[in-house]
Amino acid sequence: MAGQQPPPEPREDDAPQPPNSGQGMVAVSYLFAGLVVWGGAGWLVDQWLGTKGIAFAIGAVLGAAAGVYLIVRRLGA
Amino acid sequence: MTGQSIVLAADVPFPPSVEDFYLPSILPWGEHGSYWFTKIMVLAWLSVAILIVFFLVSYRKPQLVPTKKQWLAESVYGFVRNNIAVDMIGKEGVRFAPYLTTLFSFILIMNMWAIVPLAQISPNSHIAFPIILAVISYVMFIYVGFQKHGPSYLKHALVPPAPWFILPILVPIEFFSNFIVRPFSLAVRLFANMFAGHMLLLVFTLGGFAMVSANGLLAPVSVLSWAMVVALTFLDFAVIVLQAYVFTVLTASYIQGSLAEGH
């Protein structure tokens, strides 16, 4: 069983694609992480300066944008 | 309405709660608040035993023309090695095939208890089991990364290909996504699916009893509810297999990420 070789032919372009659910999860986790990290940072700034959600909003938008950018860089063509 | 079913329904607790996941203690028998040895524990050990015995027995005397057991074992191993390990990781994936196969079969067996008659609860519906599995995968992909790249693995994992002035924004996201969200989502995904599956079956089964005992006219609805249980059991089967597969694929994909060459 363990001694067998993997399939000799490497994947060709017309071969079935490998399971891509990993990539989907990566994309979702980048989006989520962007929102949480920079939204969270913005929220902390809000607490610190006593502003009411402005920093949080900026942080969340910035984080989501950065998440999208990361997805494009890491997973894009 | 017969008296018997009312008696039966009267002691059915509804709605089900998290308490229903804490089964009574087996040893010491029936003791309250003691969760060291319950059905969950029995099923977990049984899963380990089945896994070990099955693969040992079916590969004890390998035949050129495989026996039925050997064929099954080889199919499972071949599936994980070719369709998960090699497909996701590449040639190096063969090295991880034994671990991934063990992971896949273990999660599959553990999940399968959710719909095996008399067992009917999966140990994975307690988050402790998925957490440990996720921690193993977590430590593994980090270790593999350091083994492959040395200390520059951190740069590899944290610094995306981007202009330097955006990096301060991107690096925290990478860190959060790679080292915090990954193990968390691995564990929670498996746990939540098994928890919800068990909860659904409980709601529909017990709900049928609750409706019958509330009003005899609701009996047809109860029957519908129990028919739904059968349908949901098939749904649960699909979820069981899918979650075992997803967990394995994601572990393989994280290992692949650790092994990948620089950008």
Length, in residues, of chain B = 263
Directed axis angle between helix B128-149 and helix B219-259, to 10°?
A: 20
Whether the per-residue pLDDT at A15 is higher than 60: the answer is: no
Name the closest residue on chain B to residue A6, using Cα atoms. B82
Provide CB contacts within 8 A for B211, sequence distance 6+.
B218, B219, B221, B222, B225
Directed axis angle between helix B68-78 and helix B97-112, to 10°?
A: 110
Whether the per-residue pLDDT at B5 is higher than 80: the answer is: no
Contact A37 B172 (CB under 8 A): yes
Q: Count CA atoms closer than 13 A to A29's CA, side-chain side.
A: 25
Domain ranges for chain B: 2-259
Across the range A19-39, mean pLDDT stands at 82
Whether the per-residue pLDDT at A26 is higher than 50: the answer is: yes
Tell me the percentage of chain B whose pLDDT exceeds 70.
95
| Partner-chain residue, chosen from A6, A21, A30, that has the shortest CB–CB distance to B82 | A6
Mutate to test the interface with A, among B92, B181, B188 (most CBs of A within 10 A): B181
Whether the per-residue pLDDT at A23 is higher than 90: the answer is: no
Using pLDDT thresholds of 50, 70 and 90, give the confidence band for residue B10: low
Tell me the percentage of chain B whose pLDDT exceeds 90.
58
Place of tokens 């564990």: B187
In this predicted complex, what is the ipTM? 0.73
Across the range B129-141, mean pLDDT stands at 96
Q: Which of B223, B30, B199 is nearest to B120 (CA)?
A: B199
pLDDT tens string B33-89:
778 888 999 999 999 999 999 999 988 888 888 888 889 999 999 999 998 999 888
Contact B174 A21 (CB under 8 A): no
Instruction: Tell me which DSSP letter residue B21 carries.
Output: G
Task: Report the distance separating Cα B239 and Cα B200, nearest Å.
Answer: 13
Contact B88 A18 (CB under 8 A): yes
The amino acid at A16: P
Contact B185 A18 (CB under 8 A): no
Mutate to test the interface with A, among B74, B83, B176, B250 (most CBs of A within 10 A): B176
pLDDT tens string B77-128:
999 999 899 988 888 889 999 999 999 999 999 999 999 998 889 999 999 9
Token code pair at residue B117? 């008659």
Name the closest residue on chain A to residue B71, using Cα atoms. A1
Whether the per-residue pLDDT at B197 is higher than 80: the answer is: yes
Q: Which tops the pLDDT comparison, B244 or B11?
A: B244
Spatial contact of B166 and B187, defined as CB atoms under 8 Å apart: no
Whether the per-residue pLDDT at A10 is higher than 60: the answer is: no
Task: Report the distance separating Cα B17 and Cα B29, nearest Å.
Answer: 22
pLDDT tens string A33-48:
999 999 999 999 999 9
Residue B176 vs residues A67, B167, B250, B255: alpha-carbon distances, Å: 11, 14, 17, 17
Q: Distance, in angstroms, between A3 CA and closest chain B CA? A: 10
Mutate to test the interface with B, among A28, A29, A31 (most CBs of B within 10 A): A29
The amino acid at B235: L
Spatial contact of B182 and B258, defined as CB atoms under 8 Å apart: no
Task: Report the distance separating Cα A42 and Cα B80, nearest Å.
Answer: 44
Using pLDDT thresholds of 50, 70 and 90, give the confidence band for residue B11: low
Q: Which of A35, A32, A24 is nearest to A74 (CA)?
A: A24
Whether the per-residue pLDDT at A1 is higher than 60: the answer is: no
DSSP string, A14-63: TSPPPP-HHHHHHHHHHHHHHHHHHHHHHHHHHHHHT-SSHHHHHHHHHH
- Residue A8 is predicted with a pLDDT of 55
Tell me the percentage of chain A whose pLDDT exceeds 90.
43
Q: Is B255 exposed, middle or buried (0-12, 13-18, 19+ CB in 10 A)?
A: buried
